[in-house]
Structure 1
Amino acid sequence: MSSTKKSSSLHPRNVHIAGYDFKRLTKANENLIPYLLETPTGNTSIDFADPNAVFELNKSLLKSYYNIENWSILKGSLCPAIPGRADYMHYLADLLATDNEGEIPKGEKVHILDIGTGSSAIYPLLGQRIYGWSFVGTDIDENALNHARNLIKTNKAFKKQIQFQLQNNPKQIFESILQKNDRFDAVVCNPPFFKSREENWQKTTRKFNNLHKNPEKIPVQNFAGHANELWCEGGEKQFVRNMIYESMKYKTQLGWVTSLISDKNNLKPLIAVLEYNKAAKIEIIKTAQGNKIGRILAWKWA
């Protein structure tokens, strides 16, 4: 089975840069086989408009390349695209290297805080597998955290490096999570995209129609997602703005604070907030997976 074309837009260290090796992936997960199809160019692929196909693909990637067994997500949860999530970890490693004489810090002494880890716990799993980092994953959804804890039990090698903590107040990000003696080298976050359920559905319908040309099919989210994963009051811009202001209170406890930014128009006002409050360092890291362009906004207070 031939692979999809090389994705040269991924980070140079990303193991998925050569595209999908479906022979390897189906060997790791036979459940992917029914979802394979042949493209007009003769390559093997899947229907990326099918949420079940997307899930099995990502499960296959995690098992084959990262030795993560029995990965799953809560029904209806956000299904992360593994190549792009791995990219975040690689770019974060480069960022941490700027404060370590150019050498990427590895091992369990590197502590990362994941805001909104979800039931997939994808950043802790990838960050630990790739660089050996330790993680604390937080979420406002207790069911999601319980699911994530069960993933760790299934993969016992993660037990000491990955922990989870419930954020009881959905209006807070760091408060009640950070204790007096806590110190994190970096924070990662994939914030809610949308301002409302209605905005979410409008963009989901548009994306589905672009992926699937059959007008008779009812739009579905190929990435799914629970409410707290997809929207919040004020959307992505307000969430990250709150994150900036709250992180100021913990200048001595947080190293690089980072967040994915899906809408490039949100960068300018967020950078203005950081500059006004005299952030010591501000970085914008561009990422790409196929035709999808992303950004990571990073800042430090000290």
Structure 2
Amino acid sequence: MPAEKSSLHIRNKHRHPYDFDQLISCVPELKQYVFTNAYSTVTINFSIPKAVKLLNKALLQNFYRIQDWDIPEDNLCPPIPGRADYVHYIADLLAEYRNTIPEGASVKGLDIGTGANLVYPLIAYHEYGWKMTGTDINESSLANAREILEHNPHLSSAVQLKYQSESDYVFRNIIGTEDRFMFTMCNPPFHDSEEAAIKGNIRKTKNLGKPKSRKPLFNFGGQQSELWCEGGELAFVKRMINESTLYSSQVLWFTSLISKKDNLPQLTALLKNIQAVDFKIIDMAQGQKISRILAWTFIPEEERKNWLL
């Protein structure tokens, strides 16, 4: 029996090994991709995009009551356990100055770059009842996200989608003058070019034991806006930090995933320069993958407990 995934957040539903019999009962098509490896562990081949997508579909149905989840083949198919971790660590952040985690529709969150998969809002609503807004610069991605919502009418009042019409901006066009959010979240594009994204995927598929092919095949999918942008993760988050100053009184905590640890010194120096009241670096881990959340606020500590109440 595989060990519990102790690196995941204590409230993460995916700390225990997958029950593939249960998952296959949710999505029968998954069965053809399930096998027992050389270590006697029941698993799937994570280098096969179709297998990863079907696993996600089963996980979302089994654990989060999401029906008929699907995404186009060329869109990012995120690993569900890691996405759930981000949501749970945000819950801890919001609970820091309270006795309990704030739950329900009074907690409003903003997911920057929600993509076609809509995973963060789906998990955030199911786990804590939060009201979420998902944004994206890709209209086709948002169209697919709307289809997911149409298949899940219980989410109609819980999840809103907004199109970002100007790719140079993060919060402009999205946060209105009357809007207030307890948090923002983002999984920024990591690479600075398509070439870098392809090289990164070749390294990843090699680690998964899959032979190289002439045509790059992203096992977790991904379009340009999801995987790379000019300047990569560092430039994107710098832009987000600078723009956050314009909405300093409307958001309790701004947050972003940071995949590359070497980016933190420049980002924290920028936060000090723009006079953020506080910032935190929250470590996360999923297997061998190490990541962290960078969170910052302009709200004084004594005001945070009663913020939005």
**TM-score, normalised by the number of residues in structure 2:** 0.94
Q: 2:64, 2:123 within 8 Å by CA — same for their partners in 1?
A: yes
Partner of 1:246: 243
Tell me the residue number matched to 1:261: 258
Code of the aligned partner of 2:122: L
Deviations 1:114-149 (CA, angstroms, capped at 9, x unpaired): 100001111111100110000111100111111101
Paired residues in the alignment total 299
Q: What's 1:22 paired with?
A: 20
Using the TM superposition, give the Cα deviation of residue 46 of structure 1 relative to its aligned residue in structure 2, in angstroms: 0.5
Residues 47 and 210 in structure 2, CA contact (< 8 A), matched pair in contact too: no
SS of the aligned residue for 2:257 comes to strand
State the match for 1:230 in structure 2.
Answer: 227
Q: In structure 1, list runs of 5 or more residues that go unmatched.
A: none
Task: Report the alpha carbon displacement of residue 194 of structure 1 after superposing the two structures with TM.
Answer: 0.5
Structure 1 partner of 2:30: 32
* TM-score normalised by structure 1 residue count: 0.96
Aligned partners of 1:157 and 1:216: how far apart in 2?
43
Answering whether residue 296 of structure 2 is matched by residue 299 of structure 1, we say: yes
Q: Structure 2 regions of 5+ residues with no counterpart?
A: 300-309
Give me the whole-angstrom Cα distance separating, in 1, the residues matched to 2:85 and 2:28. 26
Provide the secondary structure at the position in 2 that maps to 1:265.
Answer: helix
- 1:214 correspondence with 2:211: yes
Partner residue, 2:44: 46
Residue number among 152, 158, 161 corresponding to 1:161 in the alignment: 158
Q: For 1:268-298, what per-residue CA distance to the aligned partner results, in whole angstroms no more than 9, with x for missing partners? A: 1101100122211111111111111110000
Aligned counterpart, 1:180: 177
CA contact (8 A) 1:208 1:219 kept: no
CA distance in 2 between partners of 1:37 and 1:228 (Å): 34
CA distance in 2, matches of 1:202, 1:111: 37
Percent identity of the aligned residues?
Answer: 44
Provide the rounded CA distance (Å) in 1 between the counterparts of 2:263 and 2:227.
Answer: 16
Q: Give the whole-Å Cα distance in 1 for the aligned partners of 2:145 and 2:100.
A: 31
Q: 1: CA distance between counterparts of 2:163 and 2:81?
A: 27
Aligned to 2:147: 150
Query: Contact (CA 8 Å) 1:37, 1:46: kept in 2 or not?
Result: yes
Name the Cα RMSD after superposition. 1.3
Displacement of 1:212: 2.0
- Residue 89 of structure 2: which of 71, 88, 91 is its match? 91
Partner amino acid, structure 1, of 2:77: C
Structure 1 residue 216, shift from structure 2 partner: 6.3
Cα deviation, 1:203-236, whole Å, max 9, x if unaligned, reads 1111111112435685421111011001111100
Equivalent positions of 1:100-111 (< 5 A) are 101-111=98-108
2:275 corresponds to 1:286: no
* 1:270 equivalent in alignment to 2:267: yes
